[in-house]
A and B are shown apart, each in its own frame.
Chain A
Amino acid sequence: MENRPLEYDYTIAKMFMLTTIVLGIVGMLIGVILAFQLAFPGLNLILGDSLAEYTNFSRLRPLHTDAVIFGFTLSGVFATWYYVGQRVLKVSMAESKLLMTLGKLHFWLYIVVVAAAVFSLFAGVTTSKEYAEFEWPIDVGVVVVWVLFGMSMFGLIGIRREKSLYISVWYYIATFLGIAMLYLFNNMEIPTMFATSPAGESGIGAWYHSVSMYAGTNDALVQWWYGHNAVAFGFTVPIVGMIYYFLPKESGQAIYSYKLSLLSFWGLMFVYLWAGGHHLLYSTVPDWVQTMASIFSIVLILPSWGSAINMLLTMKGEWQQVASSPLIKFMILASTFYMFSTLEGPIQAIKSVNAIAHFTDWIVGHVHDGVLGWVGFMIMASLYHMAPRVFKREIYSKAIMTAQFWIQTLGVVLYFTSMWIAGITQGMMWRAHDEFGNLAYSFIDTVTVLHPYYAIRGIGGLLYLVGFLMFAYNIYKTMSSRPIEERELQSASPMGA
């Protein structure tokens, strides 16, 4: 036992890989159900009138968003951290009993909080703040899980052998700090049991119920500072961290410009936090806040494209790998979708464009080409890269991977094109008026026109879900196949055709 050479310990990474896949299936399945409910409203009653309370759109919607953000994506972030962190710091989790204990505690408490969140959202218990629906007891749980993640991360950094921190580690640290700050400030809330009404009643409402400390426009400002930066520090920052590790590693190429990666990092950190106000254009927030948010959103193209172009240039001279390796295909498409959605977002944040885009399906399309094309693809690619190394087995099927790639790409394309057309149609129809200023269309006119696009969106989402199930099957078969020798594995980078 004592003479065994030191190895990286992927116990925690494997645990979080499992939740990434399970919660991914849950989140995406609910998403597909929601998409078809919008196209065919009868599906709100899919399980009959008696269960309609649990199957209607409004009850399921926060389950979809929260399962994808805090379930699938965060699990992916944790799984990759417990893999990448050890490797780039050149230190094994096995070297510290304390870190292993913290890691396991982090995982199991995360499971408890996820279970509580799913249960409460199904029961309809919500603060009704978008992406911050959890009531205060769950918020307390989230904070504990996050602190454990931080202790685990900084603990590992504390015992590292590598002096400098690789660029991905900077991104993981930023994820930790960013979400900690955002979550705390947006969830400042007072349990109603502590409140006293003007009439003198106390102990109002259920024990778990709370109200936000902010009201009116202030609430909206804090909410969208949070909401947009949840995208920043959940869907962008850690995923950029992943691609900075997994693409160079999988392709065997050094990052095209490490200096550019540093510059883009600080650019992203400085600019992103100011852009949230673009969710509140033409609302009651001060005009200068709206203008500032618009401008910062445009400036955001620079650091985003700095990273994305850096990744594409990393493939310089090695583009044949895109043709031969499905894993590289996933990452290059992810990087391309990152460029694409970080251009689309700023365009939507321009005031005159926003006048048409706001509240329409174009926004939904934008979110999904980012999350399906960039976040989803990058997390799946990371897990595909990790699977042979943590399970010490070869990937079960390259053919399934290739098929999955094309099915999901088609799914994403159907999703965002249908939502572009639907969104712009909607925006134009809402604004159309006759010479006296009377609106040309009623709301239901738009619904009728949009129906085919909603159906196409449902099909796009379904294709993506099918691809994800193929991914889950492929990983399952990889886990359960014949183990191979470590030495053999080194030269068989899974897809190196």
Chain B
Amino acid sequence: MGAKKITGIALLVVFVVAVQIATQLTGTSYYLTQLTMTMYSCLLIIGLCLVMGYAGQVSLGHAGFFAIGGYTSASLTTTNLLPALEGGSSWVSMLNSMGLLTAGSSMFGEPLLTVHPWLACLLAITITALIAFLVGIPVLKLKGHYLAMATLGFGIIIFRIVLAMEFFGEADGISDVPGFTLLPGLTVNGDIDNRVVNYYIAAAVLVTGFVLLLNLIDSRVGRALRAIHGAEDAADSMGINTARYKLYTFVISAVFAAVAGVLLTHYTGGISPSDAGVMKSVRYVAIVAIGGMASLWGALTMGGILNFLSLRGFFGSYDDAVFGTILIIIMLFAPEGVLRLTLWSKFKRQKKEKGS
């Protein structure tokens, strides 16, 4: 790992801790809730950045993967299996004897028997990865407009499915999703007492994901991806199996989205069809574009700032309009992202020319 990368990560960790301490000192620890949610969104965004910026494939369906993860976990951990157990279902009793089910009680004190969150989480990730793999095989053969429309179409289908199926709570979505105890003492849930812990859980997950991706792009695989993006036929002739690389990248980013979906759902205690909506997908794409497409740091920074402002209600009822406007302005004037504004790169180029 390069020294620059280690310094960057170290600064990031310091920043995360500093923010927490600052909120503690100023008595604004209620910010931590939105910060935690922001970090889970960022997890999805850096995954999308890998697909869009490095492999060069646009995906307008990433909210779909978020929803598959979140809804799978939410429905499994809220569906009461007690009636099925009493009804003599051998499946349920087998799972129960293996310790994969967990007992609890509903808001009204009724006994509940649900799938253990860990099992639900693993299933959610596996299902998402599988769907991404199966969808990715044909979809990633497409290019440009066709790829955009196909991924958009995939997102809409997922949206329609969760909206139309009773199992997924139709328009209301799923609420009362229980907490997710990762380890004893570390529970992902929305309890106010648990706010600081959850902030650090989210930060740990995000930083881990971020480091994994940084490693990835700075490797043989990352070079292959950048080569595909830059000149696909040349990459092909270097012996790079472009189809497989695109597919694996797509699956990895879907898994990032699914993990974000699972954890955010357990944190907020619910998920609704709007989380699967097209606008969400467009927003993620917008943030990656604003961050500069091929820049994980840019995606992380912009994802952090914009999601947080949006969650704080900073944009009021103009939320979507703000994202649309930013998107257009960036694409018109700074297609390389705000962090690499044209002026700045011109300045750098001049400096380089003088130096050489």
Q: Do A and B come from one complex?
A: no
B-side interface residues toward A, CB under 8 Å?
Answer: none
A-side interface residues toward B, CB under 8 Å?
Answer: none
